[in-house]
Amino acid sequence: MKFASTVKIKVDDTLFIEQSGKQVPAVVVKHLSSISCMGIPIEGINLEVGDHLIHLQPNFEVAEPVLSNQNNPVSPPSTVITPAVDSMETKREVRTQKLNGRLSVANYTNMSSAHINDSERMRYTFNLDVKNMNGSKFSIQNYITFNHTMHQWQEVRDNLNNALKIYNLAVDYEVTPTLTLSAGRRINRYISNVGAIDGLQIEKRFGAFLVGAVAGSRPDYQDYSFNPNLFQFGSYIGQDKQTDRGYVQTTLGIMEQKNHGLTDRRFAYFQHSNALVKNVVFFSSFEVDLFQNIDGKQSTTPSLSSVYLSLRYRISRSLSLSGSYDARKNIIYYESYKSFIDQLIEDETRQGLRLNVNYHPFRYMTIGANAGYRFQVSDSQASKNAYGYLSYSQIPWIKVSATGSITLLQTPYINGFVYGLRLNKDLFEGKIYAELEGRKVDYRYGQFETSLQQNIIGTHLTWRILRKLSLSLSYEGTFDNSKSYTRLYANLIKRF
């Protein structure tokens, strides 16, 4: 993944992707350079070239990416978002405006030798975060994108919301150093699983403890536009504390979501993370549905809908282990999905286990491996995957970083390997970042053992034109026995 800067990103941080209005964990960072990072995608997340990943910080600044890679292995997050103690706890006599923003223009071009489904898309992004406007108690934030396919403006004319996506557009007001009001579209970091909320939010702190309430609506589930018919409200309590032994963060919330006045979903959410034991990070989250409406029969019997547990242990400076367990059912909105609700209810719980190990035998070398196992009662065969890599940074004399990897995938539908080699280097004191990558794919599909063999070559350049202006260019070519595919990507980013 390429960024304008990786100053605020650290190894083992989790990068997120926006899906259906929610910030979903996507990649765990494992290696960094000045403007790029390499990581392990999380199980169940399918990334494509050009996907935009987000680095969440306590104030939710968004790090604008340039390129993501979909063929990395899968792994669950080995770290958690750890909000720092809110700065509102310390009374500020003098407020200073802080402004961060980003404008970007990106072009995505897909071509094939058969000229089938060739396309060219444009993406414009505007992100602005202003703290204490003109020294006042007001702050604003937004994250807006506009996407369209070249020469297909009719799609935009038919529905502007298919192209225009407002992920964040809110105003915050600091009533007191411990009381904050927010209005607009905003994702609350303490109940981020709810996704974006269009409406009002209030939060009150009592030292390390906090309480909050939200009321508004959900973005439309088809085009992410404003939809007042999807009313929702809820509240939460939590603790956010840094101690001498480590941090503790706990949140308990409950939400009611409506559709045209009828209950769509009612659920409770619990999240807890801590680093109270030296070199150990623990994270857990649970969702419990509190409402069912099947064949007109309503029930309030609690039903566990998702569980996620993870534990990371840093044995020494050079060796760390992590593991996780994930179990989830389909999330059911009884009014929104009523046309196919029977199918959703019948699906069994999907469960997964994952283990990960990383070892740094000496300064510039890293060896890592992870293995995953996913199973569902109805599947005749469980899904298994394994990934191993060897990375060496700053190879003597040429100062190039190299990473070799191998991925094994076994599912009821596909079996095979992916072999990869990546070389990257910063040039001219970080003014230019260059990367060259090659992958070989050897897959077999289904019971008839249909073969797929592909060779993939990619290259990437990022040029820091000015301190806050950069240009990125990428190429990826995929070649098999009968066809070839080309992907081109360009992105111009201006920060301010």
- On whether residue 445 sits in a domain, the answer given is yes
Residue 4 lies in a domain: no
pLDDT reported for residue 165: 96
Supply the DSSP string of 453-490, one letter for each residue: EEEEEEEEEEEEEETTEEEEEEEEEEE-SS-EEEEEEE
Instruction: Give the pLDDT confidence of 128-184 residue by residue, as tens digits.
Output: 999 999 999 999 999 999 999 998 999 999 999 999 999 999 999 999 999 999 999
| Average pLDDT of the segment spanning 60-77 | 39
pLDDT of residue 293: 86
* Count, residues in the chain: 496
Q: Report if residue 9 sits inside a domain.
A: no
Give the H or E element holding residue 344.
helix 341-346
Number of domains observed in the structure of the chain: 1
Does any domain span residue 5? no
Inform me whether the pLDDT recorded for 58 exceeds 60.
Answer: no
Find residue 144's DSSP bridge partners.
126, 166
- CATH code of 338's domain: 2.40.170
Number of Cβ within 10 Å of residue 347's Cβ equals 13
- Residues 153 and 233: their CA atoms lie apart, in Å, by 37
Neighbours of 261 (CB within 10 A): 8
Higher pLDDT: 53 or 490? It is: 490
Residue indicated by tokens 């961060």: 100
Whether residue 3 is contained in a domain is answered as no
Question: Mind listing the pLDDT tens digit for each residue in 280-317?
Answer: 999 999 999 999 887 788 889 999 999 999 999 999 99
Mean pLDDT of the chain: 85
Strand ordering across the sheet containing 53-55? 37-41, 22-32, 14-19, 53-55
pLDDT value at 87 more than 60: no
Residue span of the structural domain in which 460 resides: 14-495
**Structure tokens of 166?**
């407002």
The predicted structure's pLDDT at residue 20: 47
Is residue 84's pLDDT more than 80?
no
Look at phi and psi of residue 140 and say left if phi exceeds 0, alpha if psi is from -120 to 50, else beta: beta
- Calculate mean pLDDT across residues 200-218: 97
Res 328: pLDDT: 82
**The dihedral sign for the CA sequence 34, 36, 39, 43:** positive
In the block, tokens 């999907």 appear at 350
Return d(Cα 322, Cα 85) in angstroms, integer. Answer: 26
The mean per-residue pLDDT over the stretch 432-439 comes to 97
Query: Which of 175, 176, 30 has its CA nearest to residue 89?
Result: 176
Query: Regarding predicted confidence, which is higher, 277 or 22?
Result: 277
pLDDT above 90 covers a percentage of the chain that reads 62
CB 165 within 8 A of CB 147: yes
Residue 90 pLDDT exceeds 60: no
Which pLDDT does position 80 carry in this prediction? Answer: 40
- Region 32-56: what's the mean pLDDT? 61
- Whether pLDDT at 69 is above 60: no
- Mean pLDDT over residues 199-210, rounded? 97
CA separation for the pair 11, 9 (Å, rounded):
7
Q: Is residue 256 part of a domain?
A: yes
State residue 52's pLDDT score.
Answer: 66
Of 205, 262, 256, 214, nearest in space to 235 by CA: 214
Find where tokens 């009150």 sit: 204
In 243-382, DSSP assigns E strands to 247-259, 262-274, 280-289, 292-294, 297-299, 303-314, 319-328, 350-362, 365-375
Residue 42 has pLDDT above 80, yes or no: no
Instruction: Tell me how far apart the alpha carbons of residues 223 and 160 are, in angstroms, rounded to a whole number.
Output: 9
Residue 334 has pLDDT above 80, yes or no: no
pLDDT(82) > 50: no
**267-284: average pLDDT:** 93
pTM for this one? 0.76
Tokens 């769509």 sit on residue = 264
Residue 8 lies in a domain: no
Q: Is residue 172, in this structure, part of any structural domain at all? A: yes
418 CB-near residues (< 8 Å, 6+ apart): 71, 405, 406, 407, 409, 439, 440, 441, 442
Give the CA radius of gyration of the chain: 23
Q: Give the pLDDT score at 242.
A: 86
Q: What is the pLDDT, as a whole number, of residue 62?
A: 40
* pLDDT the model gives residue 66: 38
